[in-house]
């Protein structure tokens, strides 16, 4: 099995294991958050219902207090024979319409006698005939506003809440002269309970946990409901928990209990609101999310199974390219690059591998070069000397003939000059051969750039068709090199430049100082035919030449001597536009001298 397949299968297996686990962990986390959120919503709903009940009771509390504080009412209670009686009855009827709703609204004097009321309790004219209201009357006569819990009306058996508020004397504000007694109709509370979510069961309990109110359409009302056995949370007046409820056929419900908190002066009667929601209803969104998440996880796993192999091949394709590149290097092929288009570690690895191939190719080229030089070294010493001796004899013979035959005809002198030139070329080839293999260490000294260039130019006869442009600053620091060796370097470069312009041209020689590293750069530029990139890459190889004549050692000598003197040589060329050689050599800026 290939590595890519192993990676794909391993990733697929890991995804099939980890995916469901992550999905389950995510589901449980989401479920916990949603349960908490839903539970808090239920607590808020119960709080809202209880707040509405407290608001209704507090409003009734204020209504009774406002009626008892009426100036006209106080005057009528203190002075029963006052002619304002008829006016007061009309005002009480108006107060009854705009407050309440009231089942009973009566005014009693301090002796308990009924004075007036738009809604009387009955035919009896004394408070003692009404025991439940008598309790409120007695409490109000002590200067306190009284309110009861839920009571059942003896006559109609309808639930009511009794309020009683003292009526104070006009001049003595601490003296109670009468009491306003009102029976608050339970329908206002019933309307609040009926407005609760139909899916929930709602019960209003008194302090003994007896059911005093439920929704109108709830069947089988309970008489008493025990407290939650183990509430999950208790926070002040609120508690909730999951329990079995007889209101839901013993099914599991989320039960929320909220104790009455009252409102301002109305402190409440200790009622308890119990709201129950079936778990299958209230947590239905969680069940829906669970089904959706299971479906999503299943679809994702299918997509992973289908895509992992493709993704594995996509991501491992660069690795395959690297393997192919290694095999090419193993076969000795350094001309192929590993191409990785992604911008990641594989791209970085491919770039590093390509750089390594370039270094290997350069090393191979250098090894071939050194091998050629070694071969040349074996023959140069003997062959060079063997050739120089006869060339010297021939040169002397030509000189003798030119001296003896000074008055000979033009043709003879021309051929003697041709022989002389060919002997000079042969001497130069022999010199290049010997210089390319000799390893004579340089003898550095301070020497001016202009001096070296002019010495090199004196060694070469320049044709009339070639002009030389020198740009060497006078303040240029001297070089710190072997003058003879560097003179040979520029001689070879100038000779190459002249030969590159057989039809004539301009040879530009410029020098400049590099103050940052203390070196001197000299460039030799011709406007000849230039070179192709293929020839440029092999320019410094031994025995490589583009000339019809020559053995390809001149630039080898340039490179060897330049590097021996601590410098570098670079070349730029473009076919049809000429060539420029740039030689960088160490300067002797610490030693003053003219350039």
Name the CA dihedral angle for 239, 242, 246, 249, rounded to a multiple of 10 degrees: 150
User: Residue 1: pLDDT band by 50, 70, 90 thresholds?
Assistant: very low
User: Has residue 109 got a pLDDT over 50?
Assistant: yes
Nearest 5°: the CA angle 46, 159, 92 is: 105
pLDDT tens by residue, 172-227: 878 999 999 999 999 889 999 988 888 788 889 988 888 888 888 876 566 778 87
User: Has residue 76 got a pLDDT over 60?
Assistant: yes
Contacts of 13 (CB under 8 A, 6+ apart): none
Q: Could you give the domains of the chain?
A: 69-189 (3.30.450.20), 198-284 (3.30.450), 345-426 (no CATH), 441-586 (3.30.565.10)
Distance CA(462)–CA(491), nearest Å, equals 11
The reported pLDDT for the residue numbered 372 is 67
What 3-state DSSP class applies to 586? strand
Distance CA(136)–CA(114), nearest Å, equals 14
Q: Determine contact, residues 456/487, Cβ cutoff 8 Å.
A: yes
The reported pLDDT for the residue numbered 312 is 61
Q: Provide the token pair at 232.
A: 């999950």
User: Has residue 435 got a pLDDT over 70?
Assistant: no
User: Has residue 471 got a pLDDT over 70?
Assistant: yes
Indicate the helix (H) or strand (E) that contains 428: helix 410-437
Q: Which of 214, 223, 156, 220 is nearest to 185 (CA)?
A: 156
Q: Determine contact, residues 29/258, Cβ cutoff 8 Å.
A: no
pLDDT tens by residue, 347-377: 777 778 778 877 877 787 777 767 766 666 6
Residue 101 preceded by cis peptide, ω within 30: yes
Neighbour count for residue 178 (Cβ, 10 Å): 27
Instruction: Say how far residue 398 (Cα) sits from the centre of its chain.
Output: 85
Distance CA(291)–CA(271), nearest Å, equals 41
Contacts of 342 (CB under 8 A, 6+ apart): 318
Per mean pLDDT, which of 55-59, 205-209, 296-300, 358-362 is the most reliable?
Answer: 55-59
Per mean pLDDT, which of 339-353, 397-411, 430-444 is the most reliable?
Answer: 397-411
Name the percent of the chain lying above pLDDT 70: 77
Counts for the chain of helices (H) and strands (E), in that order: 13, 19
Neighbour count for residue 16 (Cβ, 10 Å): 13
Indicate the helix (H) or strand (E) that contains 133: helix 131-141
Average pLDDT (6-24) is: 64
The reported pLDDT for the residue numbered 591 is 43
Q: Determine contact, residues 497/456, Cβ cutoff 8 Å.
A: no
Query: 231-235 contacts: CB < 8 A, separation 24 or more?
Result: 231/257
What 3-state DSSP class applies to 116? strand
Instruction: Say how far residue 212 (Cα) sits from the centre of its chain.
Output: 60
User: Has residue 103 got a pLDDT over 50?
Assistant: yes
Q: Provide the token pair at 547.
A: 């000339």
User: Residue 501: pLDDT band by 50, 70, 90 thresholds?
Assistant: confident
- What does DSSP assign to residue 263? B
Per mean pLDDT, which of 100-109, 411-420, 456-465, 584-593 is the most reliable?
Answer: 100-109
Q: Determine contact, residues 73/107, Cβ cutoff 8 Å.
A: yes
Write down the H helix ranges in 268-344: 279-282, 284-330
Average pLDDT (533-560) is: 73
User: Has residue 155 got a pLDDT over 60?
Assistant: yes
Per mean pLDDT, which of 37-41, 166-170, 295-299, 535-539 is the most reliable?
Answer: 166-170
User: Has residue 460 got a pLDDT over 90?
Assistant: no
Name the percent of the chain lying above pLDDT 90: 22
User: Residue 118: pLDDT band by 50, 70, 90 thresholds?
Assistant: confident
The reported pLDDT for the residue numbered 309 is 64
- Report the chain's terminal Cα–Cα distance, integer Å: 72
Is the dihedral angle over the CA atoms 530, 533, 534, 538 positive or is it negative? positive
Write down the H helix ranges in 142-283: 187-194, 279-282
Q: Which of 471, 502, 572, 482 is nearest to 530 (CA)?
A: 572
Average pLDDT, the chain: 80
User: Residue 31: pLDDT band by 50, 70, 90 thresholds?
Assistant: low
Per mean pLDDT, which of 1-5, 15-19, 113-117 is the most reliable?
Answer: 113-117
């Amino acid at each position: 099995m290939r590595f890519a397949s192993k990676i794909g299968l391993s990733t697929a297996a890991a995804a099939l294991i980890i995916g469901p686990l992550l999905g389950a962990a995510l589901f449980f986390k989401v479920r916990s958050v949603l349960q908490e959120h839903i539970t808090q919503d239920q607590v808020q709903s119960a709080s809202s219902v209880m707040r509405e009940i407290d608001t209704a009771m507090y409003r009734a509390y204020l209504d009774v207090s406002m009626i008892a504080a009426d100036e006209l009412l106080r005057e009528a209670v203190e002075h029963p024979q006052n002619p304002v009686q008829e006016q007061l009855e009309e005002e009480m009827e108006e107060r009854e319409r705009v407050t309440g709703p009231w089942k009973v609204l009566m005014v009693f004097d301090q002796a308990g006698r009924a004075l007036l009321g738009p809604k009387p309790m009955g035919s009896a004219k004394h408070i003692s005939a009404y025991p439940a209201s008598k309790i409120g009357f007695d409490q109000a006569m002590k200067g306190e506003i009284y309110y009861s819990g839920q009571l059942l009306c003896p006559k109609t058996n309808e639930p009511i809440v009794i309020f009683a508020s003292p009526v104070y004397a006009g001049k003595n504000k601490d003296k109670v002269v009468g009491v306003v007694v009102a029976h608050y109709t339970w329908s206002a509370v019933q309307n609040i309970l009926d407005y609760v979510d139909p899916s929930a069961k709602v019960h209003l309990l008194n302090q003994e946990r007896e059911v005093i109110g439920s929704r109108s359409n709830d069947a089988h009302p309970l008489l008493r409901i025990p407290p939650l056995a183990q509430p999950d949370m208790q926070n002040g007046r609120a508690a909730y928990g999951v329990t079995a409820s007889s209101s839901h056929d013993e099914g599991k419900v989320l039960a929320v209990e909220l104790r009455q908190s009252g409102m301002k002066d109305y402190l409440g009667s200790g009622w308890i609101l119990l709201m129950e929601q079936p778990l299958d209803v209230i947590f239905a969104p969680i069940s829906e999310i669970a089904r959706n998440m299971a479906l999503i996880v299943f679809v994702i796993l299918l997509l992973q199974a289908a895509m992992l192999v493709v993704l594995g091949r996509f991501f491992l394709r660069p690795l395959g390219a690297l393997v192919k590149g290694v095999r090419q290097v193993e076969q000795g092929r350094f001309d192929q690059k590993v191409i990785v288009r992604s911008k990641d570690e594989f791209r970085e690895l491919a770039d590093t591998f390509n750089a390594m191939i370039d270094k290997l190719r350069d090393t191979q080229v250098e090894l071939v070069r050194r091998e050629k030089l070694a071969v040349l070294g074996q023959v140069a010493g003997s062959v060079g000397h063997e050739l120089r001796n006869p060339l010297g004899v021939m040169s002397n013979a030509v000189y003798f003939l030119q001296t003896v035959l000074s008055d000979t005809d033009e043709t003879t002198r021309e051929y003697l000059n041709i022989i002389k030139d060919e002997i000079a070329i042969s001497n130069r080839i022999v010199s290049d051969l010997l210089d390319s293999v000799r390893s004579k260490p340089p003898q550095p000294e301070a020497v001016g750039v202009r001096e070296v260039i002019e010495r090199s130019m004196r060694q070469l006869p320049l044709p009339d068709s070639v002009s030389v442009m020198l740009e060497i600053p006078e303040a240029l620091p001297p070089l710190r090199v072997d003058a003879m060796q560097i003179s040979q370097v520029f001689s070879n470069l100038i000779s190459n430049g002249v030969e590159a312009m057989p039809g004539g041209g301009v040879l530009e020689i410029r020098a400049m100082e590099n103050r940052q590293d203390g070196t001197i750069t000299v460039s030799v530029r011709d406007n000849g035919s230039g070179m192709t990139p293929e020839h440029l890459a092999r320019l410094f190889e031994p025995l490589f030449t583009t000339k019809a004549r020559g053995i390809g050692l001149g630039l080898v000598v340039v490179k060897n001597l330049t590097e021996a003197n601590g410098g570098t040589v670079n070349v730029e060329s473009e076919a049809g536009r000429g060539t420029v050689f740039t030689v960088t050599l160490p300067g002797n800026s610490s030693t003053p001298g003219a350039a």
